[in-house]
Amino acid sequence: MSDEIRIEDLLLRTFIGINGEERRDRQDVLINLVLFVDTRAAGSTDDITDAPVNYRTLTKRIIDRVEESRFHLIERLAEEIASLCLEEPGVGRVRVSVAKPGALRFARSISVVIERGRRNG
């Protein structure tokens, strides 16, 4: 699948980190997604039922999961988001970027990028 649906700059707040204040106060996280899908059917019919994924519904699920959870590491948060994306039948692979602005002194942000696909079997 070479088509992509991108969800860019989704800014959310969650409990993330290992220090006391990070466990007590919500932190900003910036999420970017690339969903690898096949858009040919939707592109030819212009019918929402042929779309490979309902990205509004998926985004709402991601928002709920992120804002209702607690994480120590952005790596874990990225895995959770990737798993949610791969629950969508039309998504064959996903690239997830999670950034935590202001996490390091003198750096705009720290981020992790993962790519996950469906497992056969």
100 burial (CB, 10 Å; 0-12 / 13-18 / 19+) is buried
The one catalytic residue in 100, 109, 110, 114 is 100
Residues paired with residue 3 on neighbouring β-strands, in sequence order: 37
Q: Are strands 3-16 and 70-71 parallel, antiparallel or unpaired?
A: parallel
Is 60 catalytic? The answer is no
Q: What residues are annotated to the active site?
A: 100
